[in-house]
Amino acid sequence: MKKMPIKMMAMASLITLVAGCGAVTTSSPGSATSNSSKSSKPVIGMTLMTLTNPYFSEMASSAKADAAKLGMKLEYEGANFSQATQLSQVDAFIQQHVSAVMIAPADAGSAGTLVLALNKAHIPVFTIDTNVEPSSYKSQGGHIVEFVQSNNYKAGVIAGQEMVKYLHGHGHIGWLDFPLATSVLQRDAGFESVIKKYPGIKVVSRLNGKGTTPGGLSATADMLEAHPHIKAIFDINAPCGLGAVDAIRAAHKVGQVAVIGLSGSEQAVSAIQNNSVYKYGVMQEPELESKIEIHSIYNYLHGKKVKPLILTSVFRITKQDAAHYAPLAYK
């Protein structure tokens, strides 16, 4: 990515966040570092719900580079949206005696088993972007050191405000969801908190877009066929939104149906700048999330306390400012 003033602002935010990681946590950092003492270069395991989404692939590659700068080695895996695959990856990290593990769970409700297995092995757990459902591990005494994520609720609120603005408070909409991720549930809650105030906006279809472009395309095609009067689609991530754009084009509804929602990829930001179907978006920064968490792991392994929760900023994207935010977009 090109270095722009806005990029420098984001890095400044990182410095502030990392410097402020002195909040009290419920565990003792010193007790969790025994594995790292076996090697001069701590090994960090990272398992993400998928690597096919460019958001997560950039998160992984950025984390690997930042870990190396701090004298650590990062090994990352993609679970291809499979809880069983992710459990196998965590088991391999445990057998390897890694110093810490970062997780973006494939299924938030079932991922408590990952946390408990790592806790039993005395390997500290960090979550990123989307969290493990607390009820799946806390009742059994499980613990996560830190969770770093975008402000997903605010992202949903921004998308809701733009939806209301675009529709002038009236119209049928479709909703591309992905209920297996806590990050998406928070976006959903933020979006719903806005549109519920406008009874003229009616959600006539809410389908699982699976967080992917093919999933977004298929779900949107089904929505448009069943509800030809839909005026806009809310998407929960950029791949889903781009799939919706493809479906709208295939249905010859450009100019009749808009896409509004999460839009952090280069392709999505470009589509908003073009403004033919993708009208408004909200951007996150996967690179910043991973950078913060890698620094937190480094601090934790060196006996420092870290915050249990860190939220990174999100940005409203319009046709007018898309070019300004483009340097922050992931590939």
| Residue 318 is assigned to a structural domain of this protein | no
CATH number at residue 233: 3.40.50.2300
Q: How much is the average pLDDT of 89-102?
A: 98
Q: Which amino acid would we find at residue 14?
A: L
Residue 27 has pLDDT above 50, yes or no: no
pLDDT-above-90 percentage for the chain? 87
**Distance (Å, rounded) from C-alpha 189 to C-alpha 192?**
5
Whole-number pLDDT of residue 22: 36
| Residue 328 is assigned to a structural domain of this protein | no
| Residue 320 is assigned to a structural domain of this protein | no
Residues 247 and 130 in one domain: no
Whole-number pLDDT of residue 40: 76
Write out pLDDT tens, residues 206-257. Answer: 999 999 999 999 999 999 999 999 999 999 999 999 999 999 999 999 999 9
**Distance (Å, rounded) from C-alpha 194 to C-alpha 162?**
10
Whole-number pLDDT of residue 284: 94
pLDDT-above-70 percentage for the chain? 88
Residue 30 has pLDDT above 80, yes or no: no
**Distance (Å, rounded) from C-alpha 19 to C-alpha 320?**
34
Strands ordered across the beta sheet of 43-48: 73-78, 43-48, 100-104, 125-128, 146-150, 309-312
Q: Which of 265, 287, 289, 269 is nearest to 279 (CA)?
A: 269
Residues 142 and 289 in one domain: yes
Residues 138 and 35 in one domain: yes
Whole-number pLDDT of residue 182: 95
Q: Which of 323, 325, 322 is nearest to 313 (CA)?
A: 325
Non-local (6+) Cβ contacts of 114 within 8 A are 47, 86, 87, 90, 103, 105, 125, 132
Residues 161 and 292 in one domain: no
Task: Go through the chain and tell me how many residues it has.
Answer: 331
Domain count along the chain: 2
Residue 18 has pLDDT above 90, yes or no: no
Residue 38 has pLDDT above 90, yes or no: no
**Distance (Å, rounded) from C-alpha 295 to C-alpha 302?**
11
- Based on its alpha-carbon atoms, the radius of gyration of the chain, rounded to whole angstroms, reads 20
Residue 130 has pLDDT above 90, yes or no: yes
Residues 194 and 279 in one domain: yes
Q: How much is the average pLDDT of 101-128?
A: 97
Residues 27 and 108 in one domain: yes
| Residue 329 is assigned to a structural domain of this protein | no
Residues 26 and 132 in one domain: yes
Task: Give the model's confidence band at 143: pLDDT under 50 very low, under 70 low, under 90 confident, else very high.
Answer: very high
Whole-number pLDDT of residue 16: 38
Residues 79 and 145 in one domain: yes
Residues 233 and 142 in one domain: no
Q: Are 159 and 313 in contact (CB under 8 A)?
A: no
Residue 61 has pLDDT above 60, yes or no: yes
| Residue 325 is assigned to a structural domain of this protein | no
Q: How much is the average pLDDT of 172-199?
A: 97
What does pLDDT average to over the chain?
90
| Residue 324 is assigned to a structural domain of this protein | no
Task: Give the model's confidence band at 331: pLDDT under 50 very low, under 70 low, under 90 confident, else very high.
Answer: confident
Residue 119 has pLDDT above 50, yes or no: yes
Q: Which residues constitute the domain of residue 188?
A: 152-283
| Residue 138 is assigned to a structural domain of this protein | yes
| Residue 25 is assigned to a structural domain of this protein | yes
**Whole-model pTM?**
0.87
Residues 173 and 291 in one domain: no
Residues 276 and 295 in one domain: no
Residues 178 and 272 in one domain: yes
**Distance (Å, rounded) from C-alpha 191 to C-alpha 237?**
13
Q: Which of 297, 293, 270, 296 is nearest to 281 (CA)?
A: 270
Q: Are 331 and 285 in contact (CB under 8 A)?
A: no
